[in-house]
Structure 1
Amino acid sequence: MFAANNTVFGPLTFILTGVPGLPMSNYWIAFPLSSLYLLMLLGNCTLLWTIKTDYSLHTPMYYLLSMLAMADLGLSVSTLPSMLGIFWFESTSLHFDACIVQMYFIHSFSAIESGVLVAMALDRFIAICYPLQYAYILTGSLIIKAGAVIFMRGVCVVLPVAVLIKKLPFCRSMVLSHSFCLHQDMLRLACADVRVNSVYGLTAVILTKALDSMAILLSYMMIVRAIMSTVSHESRAKAFSTCISHLCAVLVFYIPLISLSLIHRFGKHLTALTHTLMADAYLLVPPVLNPLVYSWKTKQIRRRILTLFHWRGAQRLV
């Protein structure tokens, strides 16, 4: 299975890492982690159900919010088996092909979520800067096409990353730094020249996260300029309030992402615990917080959810 240079030629198995410094089977970690996943599933499924059943929410803004919820679900479910397997059952080994599949879905759904955030920023830009043309510009068919483009971009841009890494030989030490498989983490274990993989990985990031963040920044620069040109303070406050939820979603997604990227590049001296917590925050915090923020800040969704709970309560009383 191993050659003299410790390169693996047989079936590969990666060893996943839990939280450094803590025992592998730790219920103090397993219970909160399971609670986060349940909260994520409940929040995003409730959001999707609310938008589907309330016809007043069948508008471009809420269609895009549905796409964000589905991307959040996909991102969290991609990490669910390995993370819960580690903390509940001490199952730390993951087959090479399974690791590549997990890595592919994590990075694909991350790229899809980034694209949806761009579409939501453009939605807010058109709603504030061109309110009279909003219904004519953002039609249902355009939103469907935009969703298809965002999905295909996430699928196609990340695919070569998985194909390239599958061709690499790996060394005997197969211990990953996280509870799931990430591209950079797998790449550091390869026993070959990984310049092509690194260059394409960087290219994929530029084609997705970098361009998306610039598009969001540009959209909000124009939004702020349009809002500041409004004379009425009440109109300014109303316009800003329509962007609060999306801004929170952008910050919740990009702050952990940027922090994790900086730590991978320049934080070699930091503890393994710091790397683990930032990676977990990047993958777990946005799917948990997004439905909470939108349910709290969006009156239509909040009213629909409250109506649902009141109706359920009345049904039990009857």
Structure 2
Amino acid sequence: MMLISNGTILKNFIIVGFPGLSPVFFGPVSVLLLFVFLAIVVGNSFTVVIIYLIKSLHKPTYIIFVNLAMTDIVFAIVILPKVIARYWWDDSLTLFGTCFTQMYFVHSMGAITSLILLLMALDRFIAVWFPLQYPTVVNNKSISIACFLCWCLTFIRMVGVVYHALSLPYCGIHGNIIYHCYCDHLSITQLGCGDEVKYVKTVALGVALFGLLMPLAFIIFSYFSVIVAVIRMSQAENRYKVLSTCAPQIFLTCLYYVPRCFVYIAHNLEVKISPDIQVVIVMLYSLVPAIVNPLIYCFKTKDIKDALTQRIKNTRVYDGIFFTK
């Protein structure tokens, strides 16, 4: 064991993954998670590359898409390789420092995603309600600065949250087993010792709810306002255009927030949920949006589809000229 000055004697944690999963399914689960990892990384990387290469897509909305894709890529890289290794090679041990580092990035990516969704809703709100001011207020520079602040301020804020959890002594009384697929604040701090555990959990919960509910409140207001504006539109074509843009965003926002809010509320109301079900719910709301985002924002967005189609046509024309010569 490793003795640390604050009373911590743990040097590693054991990641259980999906509690109750039979060893018979370890192989199929590891393969499934590997495909999920590749789908997230390849799909979102494709979104980033396409938007970067096609100059006609260098617009505020697509800068937001790029940042959302980047959070999904980082999140997948942070959590999936370890849980894949847990089921592929039975590698369940995670070093003490590594676990806290993973926790830092897990919660950082979640908070940044929430703020990026807020920017997305704000972008649609201004476009619908203030179309004349939109080019002035929402431009590449302002959106790039806003996205940069989302990343920087979140990284700074999460240092405090992780350091607060790290200040607890981990004396081994409650063991070192994490019944989850990755290290998160709740799983780690409940293994802490001393009277400060409850206080650390309460502070972290307050920070998490503020970072979750504040953006959600504005997102709900924003999309409600957009729906009201759509109802007031006289031309059916304009209604369809606005709804086709906002509907995927509303769907993905619900997919991201609804299960997350359910888990937080259930935990605070001390509702009994099977550990297996809870882990499955967390993994679903963590991974499914990251898989679906490229399909919605890349292949279902008219500007991107048109740009890709035009690029493919130009490539075919160029190839035809080349081979004719």
Counterparts of 1:253 and 1:39, CA distance in 2 = 18
Counterparts of 1:81 and 1:230, CA distance in 2 = 48
1:302 to 282, 300, 305: 305
Aligned equivalent of 1:221: 224
- Is the deviation greater in 207-216 or in 247-256? 247-256
Unmatched tracts of structure 1, length 5 or more: none
* Contact 1:263-1:275 within 8 A present in 2 as well: no
Aligned equivalent of 1:111: 111
Amino acid at match of 1:36: V
SS at match of 2:179: coil
* Contact 2:13-2:95 within 8 A present in 1 as well: yes
Instruction: Report the RMSD for the aligned CA atoms in angstroms.
Output: 2.6
Deviation string, structure 1 residues 259-315 (Cα, Å, up to 9, x no partner)? 332343346532221011012112211111111111232022234445667759x97
Aligned equivalent of 1:17: 16
Counterparts of 1:221 and 1:120, CA distance in 2 = 14
Deviation string, structure 1 residues 136-155 (Cα, Å, up to 9, x no partner)? 11122211210122112311
* Contact 1:76-1:283 within 8 A present in 2 as well: no
Q: 1:2 to 1:138 in 2, by over 3 A?
A: closer
Amino acid at match of 1:42: V
Report the TM-score, using the length of structure 1 for normalisation.
0.91
Counterparts of 1:75 and 1:10, CA distance in 2 = 29
Counterparts of 1:53 and 1:63, CA distance in 2 = 13
Counterparts of 1:293 and 1:140, CA distance in 2 = 22
Counterparts of 1:271 and 1:207, CA distance in 2 = 27
Amino acid at match of 1:58: H
Q: CA deviation at 1:187?
A: 1.4
Amino acid at match of 1:18: G
Aligned equivalent of 2:181: 179
Aligned equivalent of 1:269: 272
Q: 1:244 to 1:18 in 2, by over 3 A?
A: same
Q: CA deviation at 1:89?
A: 1.0
Q: CA deviation at 1:216?
A: 0.5
Amino acid at match of 2:38: L
Aligned equivalent of 1:99: 99
Counterparts of 1:150 and 1:107, CA distance in 2 = 13
Runs of 4+ in 1 over 6 A off after TM superposition: none
Counterparts of 1:40 and 1:98, CA distance in 2 = 23
Q: Is 1:133 matched up with 2:136?
A: no
Counterparts of 2:306 and 2:238, CA distance in 1 = 23
Counterparts of 2:29 and 2:266, CA distance in 1 = 23
Unmatched tracts of structure 2, length 5 or more: none
Report how many aligned residue pairs link the two structures. Answer: 315
* Contact 2:223-2:250 within 8 A present in 1 as well: no
Amino acid at match of 1:191: C
Counterparts of 2:8 and 2:262, CA distance in 1 = 35
Q: 1:9 to 1:199 in 2, by over 3 A?
A: closer
- Is the deviation greater in 120-129 or in 150-159? 150-159
Q: 1:9 to 1:235 in 2, by over 3 A?
A: closer
Q: CA deviation at 1:25?
A: 7.2
Deviation string, structure 1 residues 83-114 (Cα, Å, up to 9, x no partner)? 11101111001111110000000000110010
2:254 to 243, 251, 254: 251
Counterparts of 1:79 and 1:24, CA distance in 2 = 23
SS at match of 2:13: strand
Q: 1:16 to 1:294 in 2, by over 3 A?
A: same
Report the TM-score, using the length of structure 2 for normalisation.
0.89
